[in-house]
Each structure stands twice: as structure tokens, then as C-alpha cells.
Amino acid sequence: MTALVLALLLPGTPDARPLVWVADGAGGLGGCSGSLAKAAALCANSVEVRQFYWSHGSYRVIRDQTDRPHSVAQGAKLAEEILARRTCEPGRRVVLVAHSAGSMVALAAAEKLPAGTLDRLVLLAPSVSSGYDLAPALAATREGIDVFCSHKDRAALGVGVRIVGTADRGSGRAAGRFGFCVADRARVRHHWWTPDLRATGHTGGHTGAYAPAFAVAHLFPLIGAK
């Protein structure tokens, strides 16, 4: 019997499933959160997917990518929501997943959280700069940060970033294409795209890391899905 069915039958029983907060990429289209919800359905809803909507509005991609103060402010709101849920469910596993420009929001949120609030932070094709200081966000996690990168992400994180810049308004290259410059490789783990991942629907592009089959095979084990 799945955890979801048990929770419905026993309303007083704490939800044992991991709680996954999702900060989608720029444009407010819900691609990542929607795809992870589909992946969860494939796994008998073994995780709870909770979208945090932070965008300026549908299709406002450039505004979302370039307005760092807005992203930081939204990150503070996300931190408040995470803490509120954690107060109600103190023993529950909590993972924060972000895609592209949503990574700026997620990092800002993690920087506001007390140490060890998150079990894990997962960044998919982050459009922040490679030189972004991850130390403050890393402190909020128990298990560290996982970063999914692809050198093939040439349109969004290549041409796009050269035109409008990174989400943190930093200089240089996007971390989702070139990785973060970090010394602690044990706590900040990079997962690079390889051609064999095409079978999971991840062809190396900007949205491949949240394809449902890829999520089930490579993200859900990190999330802690049973």
C-alpha cells in the first residue's frame, strides 16, 4: 500500500513521503514542477511535489532571468514557506529542486534557512554563474548540493546567457553548462550529461534534466523516493 493511500486512510498519520519544493525556470510555465509531478505519478506518488511560483508572469523569461532583486525576494518567501511546513512536519525529508533561473530563487532561499533545514538541494541546468558562492546555501543542507549540467546546453545557457547574462548578474559562464567553481567536491556534486542518457528523454538540452523518465531514474533516488 502506497504512502499516499495510507495518508488518506489514516489522516492523523504523518506523511512519510519526501516533500519536494520546486522552483521552476524563467517564464512561469511550470515545466519542471509539472514534469516532476508526472514522474511522481509513475512512482505511485511516492513523493509530494510542491511548486513555488515565483515568476513575474507567463512567458516573461527575460525579466525573470535578469531581475535578481526579485529572485532574492522570492527566495526569502520560499524560505518562509519551507520553515512553516517544517514546523508542522518536523521529521519529514525536505528536498529543494530548481531549474535554470529558478536556481537563483532556490539559492537565495537556502541562504535564508537555518543550517541543516534542507536534506538536499538539487539544481537542474542552473543559469547562475559558475563563480557563484555556494557556501551559504550549502550550510542549509544536510547532504549537500547536486548539480545537473550539460555542455550541449548551448542555446539557453550559451547564446541566451551571453545576450542577457546569468541570473545572479555575475560575470562569466553559466554553471549549468560549465559547472560551479568549488573546492568541496564531496558536498557539491556535478552530474554531467552523457549520450547514453538519451534513453531517459534527456538529450542534453536545457529541459532534459526534468524529463519524467530521467527524473525517476536519476533525481528520485537523490530525493529519497521509495
- What are the tens digits of pLDDT across the range 130-139? 999 999 999 9
Position 49 scores a pLDDT of 98
pLDDT greater than 50 at residue 2: no
Please list the residues that pair with 89 across neighbouring strands. none
CA separation (Å) from 188 to 27, 144, 146?
Answer: 27, 6, 6
Of 6-10, 82-86, 166-170, the poorest mean pLDDT is in 6-10
Nearest to 99 by CA among 150, 159, 44, 133: 150
Q: Which domains does the chain have, with CATH numbers?
A: 18-223 (3.40.50.1820)
Tell me the per-residue pLDDT of 179-207, one tens digit each, with 9 for 90 and over. 999 978 899 999 999 999 999 999 999 99
Tell me the per-residue pLDDT of 103-124, one tens digit each, with 9 for 90 and over. 999 999 999 999 999 999 999 9
* Rounded Cα–Cα distance for residues 223 and 57 (Å): 28
The average pLDDT across 3-18 equals 64
Grid cell locating 134 = 555556494
